Amino acid sequence: MVEKVIFDTGEPENPYPSIFGTHNGTITPYKDIYVGRMFTYPCCAGTGGHTEFVRIWGNGLDVNATWRGYSGDWHNITFGEPFTLKANVTYNYTIRTGSYPQIFHTDRLEVDEGVITCDEFVDVNGKRYDNWIPAIRLFFYNLKRLSNNYLNHIRIAFAHIKILLVSSTLIALPKTKYR
């Protein structure tokens, strides 16, 4: 079984006021976490609250991801390669939001999985704040819980899918292709 370890701020009781801009602060996880994506909570139904760019760096790490626009699962932003944030290590972040994300109006937010802080938020109009934290969920997986047996099951499943795809392709081809 995979133990999912996520960093989830959840949704604030009062996410207003909200505006898009650039957030700078720190994240300190309480556990080692494996990161692949980040979800941004939109302010309310019908708004496009999302992250357009995210960068996380520190302790030898420097990763970033860019939003791909209003298609598919556009509230999520996906990193090119997964990475690990180490327990009790503080990382810097820059998150540039678009439209109207949910906001925690505090300079420090502690959740079950760690702490996120706001050093500075500059809104789209250039106004500066020191107490705006975007409501986000970082997807983490504790890979130590993946057993070799579990990984072997995944490999076997993919091998079967590959065989089925090849078989259906061969059946669909005209006989003249084989001669």
* pLDDT tens digit sequence for 66-88: 999 988 878 899 999 999 999 99
Answer yes or no: do 141 and 174 share one domain.
no
Rounded mean pLDDT of 18-26? 96
Residue pair 60/126 in contact by the 8 Å Cβ criterion? no
Answer yes or no: do 26 and 68 share one domain.
yes
Please state, in angstroms and as integers, the Cα–Cα distance from residue 157 to each residue in 1, 80, 171, following that order.
16, 24, 21
Write phi, then psi, for 177 (nearest 5 degrees).
-70, -20
Question: Which CATH number is 55's domain given?
Answer: 2.60.120.820
Q: Which of 54, 10, 7 is nearest to 28 (CA)?
A: 7
Note the pLDDT tens digit of each residue in 108-147.
Answer: 999 999 999 999 999 999 999 999 999 999 985 434 444 4
Residue pair 135/100 in contact by the 8 Å Cβ criterion? no
Note the pLDDT tens digit of each residue in 148-167.
Answer: 444 555 556 556 555 555 55
Answer yes or no: do 81 and 16 share one domain.
yes
Answer yes or no: do 92 and 159 share one domain.
no
Answer yes or no: do 164 and 110 share one domain.
no
pTM of the model: 0.76
- Find the domain containing 122 and state its range: 3-145
Answer yes or no: do 168 and 88 share one domain.
no
